[in-house]
Structure 1
Amino acid sequence: MAAQQGTSSNTTPTVLVPELLSFSPHFLLDDTINIANDEVGRAVDALEDFLNRWAETRLEREPDWDADKELEQGLVSFQTLLEFHTDIAFDFFEAWSLRNIFAVPTDLPLIAPHHAGLDFNQPSEKEAELLVEIDELWREIEKQKKLRLLLTKAKRTSGRHAKKAQVRLDRLAFFQPDQLRMLHALATDVGAFHTSVSALPPLDPANTQSLLPGLGKREWEIGRAGYISWVNAQLLRHANTATGSALESASVEEALEALSKEHVSAALRALKHGDS
């Protein structure tokens, strides 16, 4: 035990060896021992099969022989002895490997590749500053991760909005450029019309009531006065057509006199029919 302590004191810490090899020597040795134990189990199973065949042959000659008891005791003894020697052998192998194969002497000028150019002779204050800087860098990395997550969500959301907008655009794809210009001009006219109507003064309720009975009707449908006005307009139109430019400066009475009695009679009959 003293020799082992002296040997271990002359070697570098065990942390350096896994750092150089990129794996732990203990894990490698454990895997090796597990493989050996598996082989011991396979050897016991193979011996059991052989002994079962041998016992069947012996039972044919000696029917009174108790094969189960002797075979079980023999297999247990064989397995225990084999596992005992295997454990002792690999315990020595593990201890020897850690002291000789996976051990680095302290006086060996060995520099790890990722330690090249580094100065480990730094004061404790400098180490504390470096640790604070590392903490700040870690916090910055966490912030960047959160920001990246938010940007990923925003990208997905904008992608969904872009798809919806593309669907709306496809629905409006049947519009031609000329139609769009016409709609633009129509929208301008509607806007100007709305501005003009908004600038009109408010309606007088008295005048509004007089306009409501004839709203949406033709002139000759709005009672007696409307019908007479419409008849006068018709008579004037016929008078202008019949007399030509000679009647352009004549009065309404002259136009009525120039018309035939048939037109006047027909107008009066229509008027009476409308009153009835």
Structure 2
Amino acid sequence: MNSADYRVTSLLTEHLGFAPLTLIDEVINDVNQIMYNCTDALERFLLKRRAAQLQQLGKPTDNDGDGDVLMDGTTQPEAAGVFPAEEIRLGAAELETLLVSHVDKNFDKFELYTLRNIFTMPRDLVEGGWIRLKHQENVTADSVGKGSGDVDEVIKPLVDSINLELQLRKMLLLHKVKAGKIVELLRHYKRCVIAVTQAGAELKLLPEAATILKDLQPMNENVYYLLGQVDELLKQVLRLNDKFMKDEQVNGLRNMKFGASLRDRYIRDKSLKILDEIGVLGSDVGGKVLYSAYAQ
């Protein structure tokens, strides 16, 4: 198919709403279906006629109807006008094959005639732009060429916006995963706090642990106080970090690392010991650090 034929086919497809070849295929399929129905009906008619002939002769047929052997063991001759069921089915199949070949041969001619004489347009009129659809009246090649630059300018910001949205989506998914981990960690801390607050009446604690637990009451106020202190501490750390990063006089402190003090280690060991005594830490925790304030 050359470019002219392609333009004619595209124009007809856009105008009709379907490809011309699709309509021709539908017609051929419908004719084939009618032909199949006819051969099936003919086969059923011949089988019923055979059964009626056998009943008129007073001889019951076999159960499956495949052979021509009667129940009394005699064979029905063809001279009596009763043909075997197998020959009827074979003849119907051969007739169907013959009809299919004739349908294909003649409808190939129908397809060629239809495409060349019905679903067609003069090529010179299509190439010259004399035949157009309603929405193509004021469209010219020059107008399309002039507007292509404007379209590119409109499309480019949209593409950039889509890429930005995709990057934002990736960042949001990453933050969602991080938030899920934080929520799970907070739930673990919540279980630890609940276990600490409810362990006083249920477990036998050492006198030292019971005294520490009593000093932590009320737990809610102490937790809010600690959160406030941590928030203030973070603000101070951020201010110091900003000062270290911008002040040229403290340039040597940027690579400084702080180790854990003896007090930090003592508090950590005592905290883990108390949590282990009241049953908050499981056997699988081992030496896992729940919270570390060591500056590295």
TM-score, length basis structure 1: 0.44
> Which structure shows the higher helix fraction?
1
Instruction: Give the TM-score normalised by the residue count of structure 2.
Output: 0.42
